[in-house]
Every structure is written in C-alpha cells, then in structure tokens.
Chain A
Amino acid sequence: MLSFVPSPGRAGLSGRAVLSVFALLAALPSAESVPSRLARSLAAQIAGAARGRPVELAVPEDRTGRGPGFALDLQALTVLRLREAGSALADTGPRLRVEAVVTEGPDRMVVSARVVEEPGGGLVDVLSASVETDQASLPLSVLPRPPATASLDVLSSYRTPPLEETVLAIAPLGEEHLVALSPDDALLYRLEATGLAFQSRRALPGPPSTVRAPAGLIAAAPAEQAFWALTNRSPRAALFAVAGGRLALREEAAALPWPQSEDGLRFRPGTNLIEGRLQGVGAGPFVAVGEGLAVAADGSLLPRGSSDLRVGTALTALWPGAVAASSALPPGSADSILILATDSQGVRLLDSLPVDGAIRALARQPLGRADRLIAAVEAVDGTFHLVVVDLSRRAP
C-alpha cells in the first residue's frame, strides 16, 4: 500500500538551531583531530631527517580544499610538535627548509615534503607522512566567506572532507540528522557542533539494476523521524525510520510518495528521468523535483520557468519565492549554486555562489531568519564532499 508520512511546514528558529549555528562558526579542530595526528607524524619525520640541525617549516601547500586556515593550522601544529621534541627552529642562517604539500583522499590525509639545505637549496631528503581520516566523523572546515551581494548575506560556509560515498540525494531530518542516498544505500549522519558523524547505513531494496547515471530522491518527514527514498537502481521505494540512532526499514512501495503527487514518483527505467504528475506543475518527465517545483528534461524550471534560463539537476526550495538550483553549464565549466526568485513574473537569477566541483544534490534546512543550504559536490577527481552555506535574505 502506498502511504506517505506528511511533511510538516517550515519550522521556526529554535534555540537549539541557533546554538548549532554558533557552535559551527566556532568550530576548530580538536587536539586529536586529523591535522593534529598528521602534524605529530610529520614532526617526527622532520626531526629524524634534521638530526639536530635547525629547521624551517614553510606553510604547506594545501591541496585538500579544507580552506585557507588549514595549512596554517597544520604548520602551527607541526611547529608545536617540533618544539615539544626539542628540535631547533630557525628561519635564517644554516638550516633545513621543509617544503610540504598536503593532499586528502577518501580515507587518508597525506603530507609529502622536500627537505632542502639552506642556503644553497640542495635536496637533503624527501618525507611522507599520512594518517587515516575517520569517516565516522566528518569535521567541517571553514571556507572563505564570499562577499555580500545585493540580495544575500552569506553568514558562513563550510565543507566536509571527501566522503567514501557517491551522493545522489540529501535531506535534513530535523535539526539533528542528515540523510543521504548513495547508489545502493540510505545513510544517516548526526549533525554535531563541529561536523557530521556517520551513524547508520541500510541497503535499498534490490536487486539493483545497472544505470549509467545513478539518481535518487528523498521525501523527508522530520516530524516522524522518517523518510521515503528511491533511486533509479532500486526497483521499489523504501520508508526508513530513525530509531535509536539507526535506520530501520519500515515499508516498501512501488512509487515514492511525494506531497504534491497523487500517484507518487518513479524513475523511468534505466534513466534519471522522474515520472509522475505534480500538482501545480504538471506531468513529467523531470530531472529534479522540489516543493511545488520541478526541473523539466530541457532544464527549464517549472511551473514558471522562462525559456532562456536553464538549471541543472539539483534543486531545493528556499524561503517563499526563492529556490536554489545547480547551474546548467556544460562539462568543462565550474558549477554554482544559483539563487533564483520565483514569482508571478517568472524566474530570475538573484545570485550565484560558486563551488569547487559539480553540484549533485541540494537540500535546505530552515534556521529561522536564516537558511542553511547543503550541497553534495562532486570534485574533479570523482570524490564527493558536502558544502554547507548559511545565508540570509537581505532586506529589500
């Protein structure tokens, strides 16, 4: 039987949400964080190579995308460890200069360094240190805050390290949880002050079919602590509930129950095209759906899209009269979160927030006067990470 867990209306700003925002803003790596462990490992290697000679540690070149402060933090932590180990530090005179590059994969952070003699620049040694990154804990790193625009204030912006998963869809489940779909699983994360903590995983109904472009949909019911999920690999939609910090499969259905659709939504077999009729929007196929919104197969935003404005395959509603969508730029272009105004006049672009990759999914979490946008972003190397943007409307 097809059933739907009704989604509540927009929640007001709760005290807990405010605390969460401010805690995120203040987030710093803890003593046992990945950078701290990496700094300890790197310092040990440097001390071994230096053999008592003075050391200068340059600011590492950061290729992790964790933000501008990360490399400075790593340098400071490493210097601290060197001092604790009794190493001499110097930035003039005869010394060893350490020039490091830090990179990050889904499960390890790696720092590689050249040790050169100064003055002269002769190569003395090449070092490499790495530590496992904890996928159960995804710390948020602060990103540079883009300048305010005519219509938006970006309060803060963060990103997670690379995830192990391909992310097809995301949705907040109340203030405490974020749910996501990978091609084969539903995933549950707990939203914490300093990041996300992985909590639970459940397989979607099988057997999975082979598709070239996996896609997924989530219809969340935060009040019920439950959500319906469907991917184009899975033959049936599944209702999951959060119980005791774990996901439990409650029910399956032939179609994904959706608030504005009487018959629910399905994927056209083998494709990422969403089929179904949406009240106020019309019949599919769609490539993305939101609250009372959809993206048609030609990239136009329904129901009031204009012929010259195309969007991508990620979409979420923001405050009344505004939506966020990925861009429709072709391969080879960097993606942006488009903030669009929708009213009786049609759709117009308000703002554009560039991201470091291609946006594959968008979700919104209301924070009272502010909104939190969460984007699942695919980097150029094929890994996914989440970008969290807290923004507020500018008064007209």
Chain B
Amino acid sequence: MKERSPRPSAPGLLAAAAALSLLPALSWPALGPRYGGQLAVGTAALPATLEPAASGPGAVVLTQVHEPLLDVGGAGFPHPALAEGWSVAAGGREWSVRLREGLRFHDGAPVTAADAVRSLRRFLRGGTTAAAGLAAALEGGREYATGATDQVAGLTAADPRHVVLRFVAPRALPLAPLASLAASVTSTAGAGAGAFVPAAPVPGRKLALTGFNGHFGGRPYLDGLAIVPAGPTPGAAAEVRSGRIDLVPGPPGVSALAGTLLLVLDPSRAPFTDPKVREAVGAAIDRAEMVRHLVPGGDPAPSLVVPALLPPLGAPASPAAPTVSVSGSVRLAVDRSVAPPVSQRVVAHLTALGLDVSVSPLPGTEARAARAEARLLMLVPEVPEAALALRELLALAPSAPEAEAALDAADSEMDVDRRRRQLHRAEQALRDRDCLVPLASVPVSFTVRPGVHGARVDTAGRLILEDAWREP
C-alpha cells in the first residue's frame, strides 16, 4: 500500500495545496494566547438536539461539540482532524483513514474505527448532499442509503485505528464528504469529540460548554462557553458593546466569504415559465448597488459558489434591458438568514418589474423546499468544496443534465486545471436557464467584543472557537 500525504488527490491538486501552505501568518502576537475565562456566545436559537446532523442556527453549538474525521481547507482540500492521515491503494479506489492515537470522546470512551464506521453509516442515511455523494461513490453505499440493505461493503474498520473506504471507481477528492459536520464521529452514547463539552443546559435559555482536555488539537484556551439566545439584531450588537455578550452573529467582526445569496425561480410556475421573464429578473437586480449598501464585505460577482471554492467565471455579458412585459403574482419564500433589508431590496426590484410579490419568511431548510414561484436563499455549502457545493445547487435547479454530466466528469478528473474547467462548465450549465440567479457572495460574520482573539469563521461559515482567547 502506497503511503500518501494527508492531501489525498492528484499531483496537481497536491501542488496547489502545498503552495497555499506557504502563505505567512500575518498577525503579530505580542501577547501570546491566554488560557482561562469564558465567552458568552449569542445564537439565534439554542439547538433542540446535539445530534451532529441537526441543522439551523444551533449549528454554531454543534461545531464546538463535534469533530469529523477530516476538515476541508480554503481551497477545498481535505486536511486531518480526528484522522491523522490516510493512504491510498487499489489504483485510487481504496482509501485507508488512520485515526490519531489516544483519542477520547467527551464521555471518556476511546475513539475507534468502529465508532467512525457507525457514525458514517448514520451519515450515509442522513440525506444531505455530501452523504448522497459519498453513498454514490462507495461500494454498496447507494443500496445502504436507500435502505435496500444494512451492509455497506465499501465501509469497514480494518482495526481499531483504520477505517477503510472502498470506492466504485477512483475519484478526485473522494474524502471531502467526510468533512460534513453531519459526518462527525460520536460514541455509542452520542458523545462528541469536539473542543467543548456540553453541560448544564437550561432549555430555551442557556447552554454551558466546557473546554475539553482531550481534544486532538489540545485543550482550548477558554475554560468554557455560555451559549445564550441572541440574534443578529442591533440589540444584540449593543449587548456586545455593553459586555454582556462577547460574540453574536452579524457584522462587523470575524468573517469568511462563505455564503451565496441566491434567487431561485421555478420554471414550472407562471410567470417564470417564460425564459424571457427569468432573464429580465436576473437583469433587473443591481447586484453591485445592493452589495455596496446592504452586504458589507460581500462580493457582487454573480457566481453560484463563493470565489474561494471556485474562481468566478468572469464578468457576464452586459444585461440587456428587459424587452418583455412582466406581470402576475409571485410568492417569494425567504430564508430567515437573509437580512431583511436585502430581501426588501429584492422585493422592490421584482415589484418594479411589474410583479405582485407576497413574502413568506421561513427557516432555511423550509425555504429551500418551499413550493413557491421564487425562493430567496442564503446558501452556505454543507462542505466547502466546489463539486459538492454545485451538487447542492443541482438539487435546487430543475433538470440540468449538462451540469450533472460536467460534475460527474469533474469527480473522475484528477488534473486540477481540467477539473476546474469541468466545474466551470457545470456552473455555467446551472446558470444558463436563469432559474438559479446568484445575487452576491456574502460573508458569514460574527461581531466580537474587543479583547477577544483567535475566533474565526471557516470557509463553511462555521464559527471556530477552539483557538479563541480573551485578554485578561
């Protein structure tokens, strides 16, 4: 078996990842990190469950509690988390993921390959895009995911420290789906292995987390976190200024350009059955003006995925003035994570075109699934990897065989440049019918109180607090 570095892909992909690692650290830490203290973290809602597959605003808590086998960096390349590395055999079809030595869950149980396999089996039936991608690639994965069988031939624990994944065919970045938070490894009792241990929940009011001494990256600097309800509102920002809360969702502060503001038009419902109407909607929204005034730190590039995952295709053709008369009533399902001024601006543009718009604010997952003529969504990919992100978009779009074919080609393409071209083809195909209208790349931000350092947002829009510390 040939040993590989933790970057699991073709030489071109390896070289690109290595080049990124040469970037110097830019901070100048006169005062080193301090251990101790707590952070009060505001979140729009406390999680109803600490299951890693749960979604919604409570994900900010789940990120602290759970840990997947690996993570995905800014360029989409996996890097180790609970796994310390991996090796590849059988011509790229068999990947052996090696766990770090001595890992423990929060409940004290050792982290074993059997735990990882059990957690990945749970993940495969979770129904997310990354899970579906992994299921389609693994030997026997598809049958297991649909419930046709309870065995996954391509997923086994070779020994207590090695998980073996056997794929139907060699693939580019086959381990990327394992970076999904929903693929986090839990103990048989449901305990996680993340940087913070949940304790003392007060349902609906507060959740305390304590630093985990056994975290693979070392004990976090903070003794603990207090999770309290607080939305991205001016009131919450005032609470940060007053010192009651240290960190809340919303700008300014730490951020990562991780989300895409997306208008989804249903071509099976009037008035969007007419391609010219869809084109007119896309041309009517002044992205640059909207970003300048309403999306601080955003990027008006009309890309379906953020530039960090896939370089923008370039400036689109100049939007032609709509030559079609637009009228009719439209229901617009709005993801609640879209800032109200932004959704109001979009509604204003649609109204100016001649549409009568009624708005239904919905939680993110419900807005995605809503049966409405139009949906305004904030799409933060489950895994920050371009192919998986485009597959999430594929699920939102009407039938797009060209995009699907390009994504399939990208999955089996090992050369980094040729793979990028396939991904661009897929993106272009998704945009061609004007059903998916990208409006802006949007930062996921958290306001941080002065004196708190080390908090960061990753390219999946997750708040990472294991390196956070506060000045004494």
Contacts and interface: CB of A to CB of B under 8 A. Distances in A.
Interface of A: 209-213, 268-273, 285, 287, 297-299, 310, 312-313, 326-335, 357-360, 378, 380-382
9 contacts: A210-B218, A212-B467, A312-B31, A313-B32, A330-B451, A358-B32, A380-B25, A381-B25, A382-B25
Contacts of A272: 32, 35
Nearest to B101: A207
Interface in B22-69: 24-36
Contacts of A327: 30-31
B36 A358 contact: no
Contacts of B466: 212
A298 B219 contact: no
Given A297-B472, A332-B27, A380-B26, A312 B218 contact: no
B213 A380 contact: no
A211 B219 contact: yes
A330 B453 contact: yes
B24 A213 contact: no
Contacts of A210: 216-218
B33 A213 contact: yes
A298 B472 CA distance: 5
A313 B218 CA distance: 20
B221 interface: yes
Contacts of B150: none
B260 to A, nearest CB: 31
B140 interface: no
A380 B216 CA distance: 26
A270 B36 CA distance: 11
B111 to A, nearest CB: 14
B34 A331 contact: no
Given A213-B221, A270-B218, A382 B24 contact: yes
Contact of A333 (B24, B30, B34, B220): B30
A310 B31 CA distance: 11
A331 B219 contact: no
B25 A211 contact: no
B216 to A, nearest CB: 7
A100 B74 CA distance: 34
Interface centre among A329, A331, A380 (most CB of B within 10 A): A331
Interface of B: 24-36, 213, 216-221, 451, 453, 466-467, 471-472
A108 to B, nearest CB: 14
Contacts of A382: 24-25
B32 A332 contact: no
Contacts of B471: 328, 330
Across the A-B interface, the 5 shortest Cβ-Cβ residue pairs:
A270-B219, A298-B472, A335-B30, A271-B35, A329-B30
B31 A328 contact: yes
B152 to A, nearest CB: 32
Given A327-B30, A328-B31, A381-B25, 9 more contacts: A209-B218, A270-B213, A310-B472, A312-B30, A326-B30, A329-B30, A359-B30, A380-B25, A380-B27
The secondary structure that dominates the B interface is loop
Nearest to A332: B28
Nearest to B27: A331
Contacts of A312: 30-32
B28 A358 contact: yes
Contacts of B33: 212-213
Contacts of A334: 28, 30
Contacts of B27: 331-332, 380
A333 B35 CA distance: 20
Contacts of A270: 213, 218-219
A270 to B, nearest CB: 3
B218 A331 contact: no
B32 A212 contact: no
B31 A287 contact: no
A268 B219 CA distance: 11
A300 to B, nearest CB: 8
Nearest to A209: B218
Contact of B34 (A211, A268, A287, A378): A287
B467 A331 contact: no
B472 A331 contact: no
Nearest to B219: A270
Contact of A273 (B24, B36, B216): B36
Nearest to B24: A381
Nearest to B32: A313
Given A210-B216, A211-B219, A333-B28, A297 B451 contact: no
Contacts of B28: 331-334, 357-358, 380
A298 B171 CA distance: 52
Nearest to A381: B24
A357 B466 CA distance: 25
Given A210-B216, A381-B25, A331 B221 contact: no
Contacts of B453: 330-331
Interface centre among A209, A270, A333 (most CB of B within 10 A): A270
A287 B217 CA distance: 21
Contacts of B25: 380-382
A212 B221 contact: yes
Interface centre among A271, A297, A360, A380 (most CB of B within 10 A): A271
B314 to A, nearest CB: 30
A248 B435 CA distance: 73
Interface centre among B29, B31, B36, B453 (most CB of A within 10 A): B31
A213 B220 CA distance: 10
A269 B36 CA distance: 12
A210 B82 CA distance: 13
A297 B218 contact: no
Nearest to B102: A207
Given A269-B213, A270-B213, A333-B28, A297 B219 contact: no
Contact of B217 (A212, A297, A329): A212
Contacts of B36: 271, 273, 285, 297
A328 B453 CA distance: 14
B143 to A, nearest CB: 39
A171 to B, nearest CB: 19
Nearest to A310: B472
A328 B31 CA distance: 5
Given A212-B467, A381-B25, A299 B472 contact: yes
B94 to A, nearest CB: 29
A326 B221 CA distance: 20
A360 B32 contact: yes
A188 B74 CA distance: 40
Contacts of A329: 30-31
Nearest to B36: A297
Contact of A212 (B24, B29, B219, B472): B219
Contacts of B218: 209-212, 270
